[in-house]
Amino acid sequence: MQLKPGMAAEYRRRHDEIWPELAALLRDAGISDYRIFLDPGTGALFATLKLAPDNQRDTLPGHPVMRRWWDHMADIMEVEPGNRPREWPLEPMFHLA
Q: Which residues are catalytic?
A: 15
Residue type at 18 in one-letter notation: I
**What b-and-e string marks burial along 81-92, b requiring 16 or more CB atoms within 10 Å of the CB?**
eebebeeeeeee
